[in-house]
Chains A and B, each alone.
Chain A
């Protein structure tokens, strides 16, 4: 018998598990649902061109459909596996199908605002995407960034305060990246110049930002709320034409300026990292700094610059929490988004595309939990909150192919130190 590599064995096992789960979904949610009730899916949010009607599907039929689709996904994954191609597409279809099969069942007889569900998912994913892009920029250049949380929080705080004091959201938008970059400068200085352990350093920076914002919040923002913490916020701008496309329009093209900036940043990073001189050099210092040095690249300067850019990106993401949505600042309002962003980066295998998809998935899972509890389906909220972490464990355990961090991630470089 032909033996298989460990990674391939794991992929196969994962496919089998997914197949079994889909079968289970078929039995329990599809055939096991004897209710004749239907689920109604709302597809409209308001001002689209064509107002689609809500779709009504008998719940058991919906569940059956998705479970079968999931099995098809498994089959597809297996086919690609046999052809030695990546089974990622199949695995994605199979995983998402299980989720939808479950939703159909859970919402039997209820109304699900599908477009709203997706739009809310994107909203929750926005800071995760900003955060994971920050992590990506750092780690691809060889600096571990645990301080994403701190960068987001600093951006959120600074933008709220500046926007409150000046009554100008634009100024808030400008100060947020600067605040994030300030955290980055600390990270870069100690990590790159002095070789401090980067995980500990990032952790300490998070604690620092938490402490500082908590303190100022209590002493300044609460007592003098009207001056310091009553920030105006951006309103949505609907892009002409695009914003009116059914389903897609309201989800993607009826957003605040921060989200549009995010699209631009994501596009720039995805392109830049793999298509430009800067990207090639960035990846080289993250993989093998000696080699980069030996062809005349100033390793530490490039790392420093990228870490600062990463801070700008995460800081801007922080503004989304305040002036991008509710306006005012709340204590520790990032609530761990920075860590979930880090999880998205790892789950996405340190690639821009992967990290964005992971962030979207995590945002969606988070929002689903909220929506389900609003429509009265009680899923323990802890269950959905676990999704990012479980997904990350799955990713790093190699179930969906090999995950490899940049080889010099977290490795201090000083010329002549190593041999």
Chain B
């Protein structure tokens, strides 16, 4: 089926999120949408799916006008969507999440899910996924949850499939598999709208690329364009995708982790025998496929994990067992993996989120009172410095686009005097312009003599930034190599092959 949007406009207060957008997706076409964080991509897709009401605009399916006021209308005309923010119910099983809204009942009214179960397993094996239909979603890693989202969209034979950053949390291998899935669907006539910040993927699958900037369509690009060309179309200026860095050696050790072990609630090991050092002005990247203990190790660095044994010395001082607050104030900046869940308080304003960690200190606190003026000034400053795209510093942080949320976290964490920066997936979901910015900031921290511990599943990012690369596999550090290692060597290590 084909889908056409005509003159879609949506404003939030004075902000024009979508400005008279026209878009046409034919059947059997993969139509990529590129745009900076906050360009209005998700808003547009949510409008098509009926989750957001447009101010004006019309939709045509196969040339016939349709009205979409709610998701049920979109589903009825055959539109399926993978949302940027998971639409999964954490306490439900995979199966329950997938059949929700499409339940089959037996004659006596009880749920009949054996057909759905079979179909899930069939789809999963067809696409090379491994999935347990009875696993509870909250116990699954983000990568697996993403697969569940994708399965949900594939289950009911959507004729028009909207994919809002489906690959943001997938590993390179998973992404490759996913690209194959998209190609198969295209071959079967499905129209696909694909949103991604990863230009490599977009170039690999897209038949057509629409570029959106500040709510307007600015270009229809050819997938054969180079990454640099696409990037500058999005951002409106030339982008330097490969940061150059200077290696320098400074031998003072800032962080020394020795014999670190982390166990889960019942004592099963999650992470074992971790040993590493990070020097002043050095970036140590922890690479690896999602779910190999990186999250636990990162949490342990600021004592967010309970069952930690071993030692972490920060400038010679033991920090294992400190409170989270003390850990942070002993000089650690912490950028958590999930910004919505752990990095920000959605209902608080941008200004408030920027001082979450220092609200009790001068100049934000004056005795028992808060100094709103100081808070405001700080926010104004950071919004400019980190290029946070927002209408107002008083807007709730939940109204920001994904990339801008990440900038708020970074702005807050890098404002304290720190010795160690722990950054987990700092560029997940960010546009190329923002990635360039974040990389620049991380390198600046390094130049300023800080130690940086970078957790990333993005091989490109690891290769660009790291001075040394540790690869984690099944809770252990398989090997620590230096930056001259090749992509292939690291890829093998990530797969658990130790040469």
Contact = CB atoms under 8 A, between A and B. Distances in A.
Interface of A: 2-5, 8, 84, 271, 275-277, 280-281, 283-284, 287-288, 290-298, 407, 415-416, 418-419
Interface residues of B, number: 40
A298 B70 CA distance: 9
A290 B85 CA distance: 10
A292 B90 contact: no
B71 A296 contact: yes
B13 interface: no
17 contacts: A2-B267, A3-B263, A4-B265, A84-B266, A281-B100, A287-B91, A290-B87, A292-B89, A292-B101, A294-B71, A294-B83, A295-B87, A295-B100, A295-B152, A296-B101, A416-B46, A418-B398
Given A2-B267, A277-B103, A407-B90, 12 more contacts: A5-B306, A280-B99, A281-B103, A284-B89, A284-B92, A287-B90, A290-B87, A293-B51, A294-B83, A296-B76, A297-B72, A419-B398
A419 B346 contact: yes
B251 interface: no
B426 to A, nearest CB: 21
A294 B87 contact: yes
A2 B266 CA distance: 9
A139 to B, nearest CB: 14
Interface in B10-50: 46, 49
Given A2-B263, A2-B267, A416-B51, A295 B346 contact: no
Nearest to A295: B101
Residue of A290, A293, A296 with most partner-chain B CB within 10 A: A296
B105 A297 contact: no
A283 B92 CA distance: 9
Contact of B52 (A3, A4, A416): A416
B468 to A, nearest CB: 31
B399 interface: yes
B72 A8 contact: no
A408 B487 CA distance: 45
Contacts of B97: 291
Given A3-B306, A5-B265, A294-B49, A415 B70 contact: yes
A416 B99 contact: no
B96 interface: yes
Nearest to B156: A295
B90 A8 contact: no
Contact of A280 (B70, B87, B111, B307): B111
A275 B263 contact: no
A3 B346 CA distance: 32
Given A2-B267, A407-B90, A416-B52, A297 B100 contact: yes
Interface in B78-132: 81, 83, 85, 87-92, 96-97, 99-103, 105, 109-111
A203 B264 CA distance: 42
B69 to A, nearest CB: 10
A298 B72 contact: yes
Contacts of A407: 90-91
B105 A276 contact: yes
B273 interface: no
A290 B399 CA distance: 15
Contacts of A271: 110
A8 B265 CA distance: 9
B52 to A, nearest CB: 5
A393 B492 CA distance: 54
Contacts of B91: 287, 407
A287 B100 CA distance: 13
A290 B152 CA distance: 15
A294 B81 contact: yes
Contacts of B75: 295-296
B111 A275 contact: yes
Nearest to B81: A294
Contact of B70 (A4, A275, A283, A296): A296
A105 to B, nearest CB: 40
A401 to B, nearest CB: 13
Given A5-B265, A415-B51, A419-B346, A295 B102 contact: yes
A292 B91 CA distance: 13
B53 interface: yes
Contacts of A8: 265
Contacts of B72: 296-298
A291 B81 CA distance: 12
Nearest to A279: B111
A367 B63 CA distance: 72
A294 B111 contact: no
Interface string B150-167: 001000000000000000
A281 B152 CA distance: 16
Contact of A284 (B49, B70, B100, B399): B100
B324 to A, nearest CB: 15
Contacts of A296: 70-72, 75-76, 101
The 5 closest A-B pairs by CB, nearest first: A295-B101, A296-B72, A277-B103, A291-B87, A5-B265
Nearest to B306: A3
A344 to B, nearest CB: 22
A182 B87 CA distance: 34
Contact of B96 (A3, A84, A280, A416): A280
Contacts of B307: 2-3
Residue of A8, A275, A291 with most partner-chain B CB within 10 A: A291
Contacts of A293: 51, 70-71
Contact of A277 (B111, B265, B399): B111
Interface in B49-67: 49, 51-53
A325 B292 CA distance: 63
Residue of B100, B103, B152 with most partner-chain A CB within 10 A: B100
B292 to A, nearest CB: 23
A84 B268 CA distance: 12
